[in-house]
């Protein structure tokens, strides 16, 4: 069989994610094998295979974008240098110091109306967007006047279609302009003291960061976090609405570790973090599939976290899955903001169940389609305890 015929054979079961709910496509494709062609691209669907790719940056490089993406668009020493710089802003001690602020913001976000109002209709995605913006601006020291503009940006970013280049470009440029408005005063005035100012004047690399590097790091800290946090909260709230027993257990008091295991399990079952790209640096065989040098390889975390070989029933809520959960990635590019994000999710979840009982509405949640996972709308009814 010629090379062309072999490629045609490999493409015979080519699945498409475009316009689909990711789980529906990847659950089906994974049954044909842990590595498949989705939209003409090699896609890693299996749990073990996802880890193998993520933990081998020498063979599967993260340098896949023409845009500067710090730190996860780098490999090797460059990645280590920028990752070390960023990790210093996200240490366990720093996150612990932020906990009280996140708790206050979560309580305030979920406190509205009169005390005698027994029920309230709300959309968890909207609540998540408001909370995430307030938490992020509080952490980074950004002015409160940006809140409304940032919440609007989260809506626009979640609604932007990847096929509409003009729309996605406009959304990206709007966010870069917001970052520019925050960074420029701190470049000009060293008396401003906050996390953003610390980054602007950081010299831990032996030099000051270039403007583009500052923008890239802040875009990763903020743009990705805002949309991701709103989507995560949507998944968690929907999970709570469908599992009243879990709500009551949290309301009765659980440790941070148990609560994190519950949150991570909701996200494993229905992950909003669909995929990351890699590129093969040399010819390689993965799960019986021959991948050529320079070919793109997508790690599909949504599928890997539902692989029946790792989770006998992917739809069963079993928090002891924590050690196998790949929601936050794996290997050297594992999400650096995991602890910060989890502190925010803990604060929001506790504030929610302390005051409200969450139940689904008749309308029901609206699922997101690729490249997003989870939901784009989670209407719920909140009944005061």
Judge whether residue 13 has pLDDT over 70. Answer: no
pLDDT in tens, 153-195: 878 877 776 667 788 888 888 888 999 999 999 999 999 999 9
Dihedral in degrees, nearest 10, Cα atoms 78, 82, 84, 86: -170
Give pTM, 2 decimals.
0.92
Q: Determine what percent of the chain is predicted with pLDDT higher than 90.
A: 72
pLDDT for 277 equals 95
Nearest CA-CA partner of 290 in 123, 52, 121, 42: 42
pLDDT of residue 226: 78
83 burial via Cβ count (<10 Å: 0-12, 13-18, 19+): middle
Span 336-361, pLDDT tens digits: 999 999 999 999 999 999 999 999 99
Return the number of other C-beta atoms located less than 10 Å from residue 315's C-beta. 10
Whether 207 has a pLDDT exceeding 70, the answer reads yes
Q: String of b and e for 147-169 (b: at least 16 CB within 10 Å)?
A: eeebbebbebbbebeeeeeeeee
Higher pLDDT, 164 or 126: 126
3-state helix, strand, coil in the chain (%, to 5): 55, 15, 35
pLDDT for 126 equals 93
Euclidean distance between the first and final Cα of the chain, in Å?
A: 68
The average pLDDT across 207-224 equals: 88
pLDDT tens-digit map of 247-305:
999 999 999 999 999 999 999 999 888 999 999 999 999 999 999 999 999 999 999 99
**What would the pLDDT profile of 41-57 be if each residue is shown by its tens digit?**
999 999 999 999 999 99
More confident residue, 2 or 29: 29
List Cβ neighbours of 137 (8 Å cut-off, separation of 6 or more): 143, 144, 146, 147, 150
- For residue 1, pLDDT over 70 is answered with no
Q: Please name the residue that has the structure tokens 């995560």.
A: 232
Diameter of the chain measured on Cα atoms: 75
> Domains in the chain, start-ordered, CATH in brackets?
3-384 (1.10.630.10)
DSSP letter at 334 equals S
pLDDT exceeds 50 at position 6: no
pLDDT surpasses 60 at 315: yes
| Phi/psi at 309 (5° precision) | -70, -25
Please confirm whether the linkage preceding 371 is cis (ω < 30° from 0).
yes
């Amino acid at each position: 069989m010629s090379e062309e015929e072999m490629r045609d054979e490999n493409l015979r079961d080519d699945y498409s994610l475009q316009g689909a709910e990711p789980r529906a496509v990847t659950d089906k494709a994974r049954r044909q094998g842990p590595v498949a062609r989705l939209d003409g691209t090699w896609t890693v669907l299996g749990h073990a295979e996802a880890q193998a790719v993520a933990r081998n940056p020498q063979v599967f490089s993260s340098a896949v974008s023409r845009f500067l993406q710090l730190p996860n668009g780098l490999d090797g020493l460059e990645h280590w240098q920028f990752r070390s710089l960023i990790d210093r802003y996200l240490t366990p001690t720093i996150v612990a110091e932020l906990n009280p602020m996140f708790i206050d913001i979560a309580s305030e976000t979920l406190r509205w109306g009169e005390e005698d109002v027994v029920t309230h209709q709300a959309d968890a995605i909207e609540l998540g967007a408001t909370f995430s913006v307030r938490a992020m601006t509080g952490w980074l020291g950004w002015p409160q006047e940006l809140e409304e503009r940032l919440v609007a940006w989260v809506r626009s970013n979640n609604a932007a279609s990847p096929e509409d280049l003009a729309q996605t470009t406009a959304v990206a440029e709007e966010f870069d302009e917001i970052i520019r408005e925050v960074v420029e005063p701190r470049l000009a005035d060293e008396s401003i003291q906050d996390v953003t100012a610390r980054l602007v004047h950081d010299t831990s690399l032996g030099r000051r960061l270039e403007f583009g590097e500052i923008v890239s790091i802040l875009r990763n800290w903020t743009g990705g976090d805002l949309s991701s946090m709103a989507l995560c909260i949507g998944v968690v709230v929907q999970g709570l609405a469908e599992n009243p027993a879990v709500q009551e257990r949290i309301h009765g008091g659980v440790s941070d570790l148990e609560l994190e295991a519950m949150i991570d399990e909701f996200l494993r079952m229905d992950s909003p973090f669909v995929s990351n790209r890699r590129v093969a640096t040399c010819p390689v065989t993965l799960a019986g599939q021959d991948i050529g040098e320079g070919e793109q390889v997508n790690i599909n975390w949504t599928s890997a976290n539902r692989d029946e070989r790792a989770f006998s029933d992917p739809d069963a809520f079993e928090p002891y899955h924590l050690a196998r959960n790949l929601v936050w990635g794996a290997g050297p590019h594992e999400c650096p903001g995991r602890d910060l994000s989890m502190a925010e999710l803990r604060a929001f979840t506790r504030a929610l169940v302390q005051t409200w009982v969450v139940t689904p509405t008749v309308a029901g949640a609206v699922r997101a389609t690729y490249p997003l996972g989870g939901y784009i709308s989670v209407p719920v009814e909140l009944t005061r305890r």
